[in-house]
Amino acid sequence: MKSSRGDYDAHMTLSSKALENFRFWLSKDATIPRGFGHIQFEFIMSSDASKLGWGASCGNQNVGGRWHPDEAIMSINWLELYACLLALKAFAALVCNNRVSVKLDNLCAIHYINNQGGVIESLNDLSREFWAWCKHMNVKVYASHVPGVENTAADFCSRHFKDNTEWSLSDDVFGYITSQWGNPDVDLFASRLNHKVDQYFSWQPDPGCCGVDAFSVNWAKFSLAYAFPPFGLVGKVIKKALCEGANLILVAPYWPSQHWFPVVYGAMICEPLVLPVKQSTIKLCHDVSKAHPIWNKLNLTCFRFGAKR
């Protein structure tokens, strides 16, 4: 109205972003519920966000995780909306092709979910991503409010984490390994923040994983797998890899006193790669400034099992 000086009959030019939004709203169909009405929901899920991370609960399953530093700087409204999307993705195996009632304690996020958008660009873009995923997975969602004091399970998961499972090789060190032995097609022990390849297994339901619990699948079906497991699982990883004849890159500490160490040296197909002993060799993706408590004693080594490439 400013540009047309109050002329209601004047024409205006829409931006490409505005046109995209119109096309999105015009493409909506009956898969998006308009309210509770008489809809019977197969699942009830609650989600929550803090400035530290996100959490969710569905049935007797609880999930959660840290924010990436680029995510942590966003507004709490954006984080609450994104936490709900991550929760749905984590529970994708459950909610796919079903109707889900999501409970949140943030009214702004509820508005952007149920109205499929709004006036704040960052939240509007995220709500479009939210509904595009729901439509792709044929998930019907309706959001409603739950008081924060009643959202205890999701709130706990958004503030309490097991960082000991989140240590990851730096990208430079991982690149050195792949330059020597090729690119793996699966990361067996990873999460949304620290996976090294697109296909990965997590220890709990995770928004981007291809499966939960790598020990539940046969590793021989992968052309080359990568594993940087918690140190207490190294022996179990070696036993499974050898039993199944898997092609595996294993990162583990150089600990000759461990019971599995002679097995490693008897089974590897080439000389191991000794990784640099530096604070930056392993990192936490949500806090790269934090050093592993025993980084100078780990002497991380990379072992190769299976058929030669």
Least confident of 34-43, 105-114, 232-241: 34-43
Which region among 22-36, 194-208, 244-258 has the lowest average model confidence (pLDDT)? 22-36
The Cα–Cα gap between 57 and 163 comes to 20
Phi/psi of residue 2, nearest 5 degrees: -65, -45
CATH, range 16-157: 3.30.420.10
Query: How does pLDDT run across 120-148, given as a tens digit for each residue?
Result: 999 999 999 999 999 999 999 999 999 98
Summarised one tens digit per residue, pLDDT across range 60-72 is: 999 999 999 999 9
pLDDT score recorded for residue 287: 87
Position 30 confidence tier, pLDDT thresholds 50, 70, 90: very low
pLDDT tens sequence across 153-196:
999 999 999 887 889 999 999 999 999 999 999 999 999 999 99
Q: Please give the span between the terminal C-alpha atoms of the chain, in angstroms, as a whole number.
A: 67
The Cα angle at residue 136 between residues 82 and 55, in degrees rounded to 5: 25
Q: What is the mean pLDDT of residues 207-219?
A: 95
Residue 309 clears pLDDT 80, i.e. is over it: no
Residue 34, pLDDT above cutoff 60: no
Would you state the pLDDT for residue 36? 52
Query: Top-level CATH class of 163-305?
Result: alpha beta
User: What is the rounded average pLDDT of the residues 5-19?
Assistant: 88
Condensed to tens digits (0 to 9), the pLDDT of residues 259-297 reads 999 999 889 999 999 999 898 899 988 888 888 888 888
- Planar angle of CA 79, 81, 86, nearest 5 degrees: 85
Q: Hunting for tokens 């991982």 — which residue is that?
A: 174
Q: Residue 248 — pLDDT band, cuts 50, 70, 90?
A: very high
Question: pTM (2 decimals)?
Answer: 0.87
Query: Which of 248, 231, 240, 257 is CA-nearest to residue 167?
Result: 231
Q: CA-to-CA distance for 289 and 131, rounded, in angstroms?
A: 36
Give the Cα separation of 228 and 45 in Å (integer). Answer: 32
Give how far Cα 209 sits from Cα of 2, 120, 266, Å.
Answer: 49, 30, 32
Do 16-157 and 163-305 come out as alike in CATH topology?
no
d(Cα 246, Cα 145) in Å, to the nearest integer?
A: 48
Mean residue pLDDT across the chain: 91
Domain ranges of the chain: 16-157, 163-305
